[in-house]
């Protein structure tokens, strides 16, 4: 569980608080999508969870952030990393090895996972991400989507209870992006892993996550189950935050009093919504 209490942070070089007075809780087993415009504090929020703030980026830290009971200020990034695995947007920058298997070994070796346990963990992580066949391949020969799966597998092997991803599909095409999110949804469903993902592609996000967290200028604008948040799509549109078109249509139709059900997140639901409006 992640808890933030009256949490504010200002970078040493910043003019205003990157995050301002955050009070929020992310429960075990949640799948949260974080959206917001650039400068809203999305990346800073991920840094606050994995301890990069305040351990790597210094600044004015007020309030408290706890991850599974660990206070992030008092714990080292490595201690936090045992609970939270982080995947970054720049796939190439986070790779350390030249072969898939070695990439997975890196973290396992560092955290002194017992030798006899390593083989099992590697095989399992590759299996869960569906890339067992790539085990002995060179990273240079993989596509962007495959590399991102390797990055996720390398984190999975460490068995964190929480996985944090900053725009994991930023450089991927629609099909590979879809694959990454269906993989994350499966991990969340089958293993109860808490997943927190920053994402620009809101349409994609809505189809997979359980909750949305909308940030605006360093503050929480909306936070809750996807459908509840989408009920306020008008507020999001006003702030220039992208809303899927089927949600805009829902807003139009419910404004006219034609539909009363909650906002659709998939095309099937959108079709049902229109049929309801036509009754």
146-185: contacts with another protein (CB under 8 A): 154-155, 158, 167, 170-176
The verdict on 78 binding another protein (CB under 8 A) reads yes
The verdict on 102 binding another protein (CB under 8 A) reads yes
**Shortest spacing between CB 139 and another protein, in angstroms:** 9
The count of chain residues that interact with another protein, using the rule CB under 8 A, is 71
Q: Give the range of 25-33, 58-66, 221-229, 265-273 binding another protein by CB under 8 A.
A: 265-273
- For another protein, the binding residues in 118-137 under the rule CB under 8 A are 118, 136
Helices (H) and strands (E) in the chain — how many of each? 12, 10
The verdict on 117 binding another protein (CB under 8 A) reads no
Complete DSSP assignment for 34-78: EE--TTSSHHHHHHHHHTHHHHTS-EEEEEEEEETTEETTTS-HH
**Shortest spacing between CB 220 and another protein, in angstroms:** 17
**Shortest spacing between CB 170 and another protein, in angstroms:** 6
Residues 248, 253, 255: CA angle, nearest 5 degrees: 95
263, exposed or middle or buried, with CB in 10 Å at 0-12, 13-18, 19+? buried
- The three-state secondary structure class of 162 is strand
- For another protein, the binding residues in 229-248 under the rule CB under 8 A are 240-242, 244-246, 248
The verdict on 260 binding another protein (CB under 8 A) reads no
Residue with tokens 């800073």: 44
> Which tokens sit at 259?
């539909």
Using CB under 8 A, pick the residue from 203, 224, 227, 261 that binds another protein: 203
- For another protein, the binding residues in 1-60 under the rule CB under 8 A are 36-39, 50-52, 56
Name the β-bridge partners of 138: 99
């Amino acid at each position: 569980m992640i808890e933030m209490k009256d949490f504010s942070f200002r970078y040493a070089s910043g003019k205003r608080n990157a995050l301002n007075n955050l009070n929020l809780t992310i429960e075990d087993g949640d799948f949260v999508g974080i959206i917001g415009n650039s400068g809203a504090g999305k990346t800073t929020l991920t840094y606050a969870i994995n301890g990069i703030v305040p351990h790597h980026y210094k600044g004015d830290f007020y309030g408290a952030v706890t991850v599974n009971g660990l206070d992030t200020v008092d714990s080292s990034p490595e201690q936090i990393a045992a609970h939270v695995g982080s995947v970054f947007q720049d796939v190439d920058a986070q790779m350390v090895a030249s072969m898939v298997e070695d990439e997975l070994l890196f973290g396992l070796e560092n955290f002194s996972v017992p030798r006899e346990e390593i083989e099992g963990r590697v095989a399992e992580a590759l299996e869960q991400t569906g890339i067992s066949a790539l085990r002995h391949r060179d990273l240079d020969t993989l596509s962007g989507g495959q590399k991102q799966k390797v990055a996720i597998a390398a984190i999975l092997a460490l068995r964190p209870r929480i996985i944090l991803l900053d725009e994991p599909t930023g450089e991927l095409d629609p099909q590979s992006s879809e694959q990454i999110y269906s993989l994350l949804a499966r991990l969340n469903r089958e293993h109860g892993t808490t997943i927190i993902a920053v994402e620009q592609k809101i349409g994609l996000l809505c189809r997979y996550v359980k909750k949305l967290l909308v940030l605006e200028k360093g503050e929480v604008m909306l936070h809750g189950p996807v459908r509840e948040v989408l009920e306020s799509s008008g507020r999001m549109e006003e702030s220039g935050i992208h809303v899927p078109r089927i949600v805009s249509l829902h807003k139009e139709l419910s404004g006219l009093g034609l539909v009363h059900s909650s906002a659709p997140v998939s095309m099937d639901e959108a079709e049902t919504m229109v049929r309801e409006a036509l009754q």
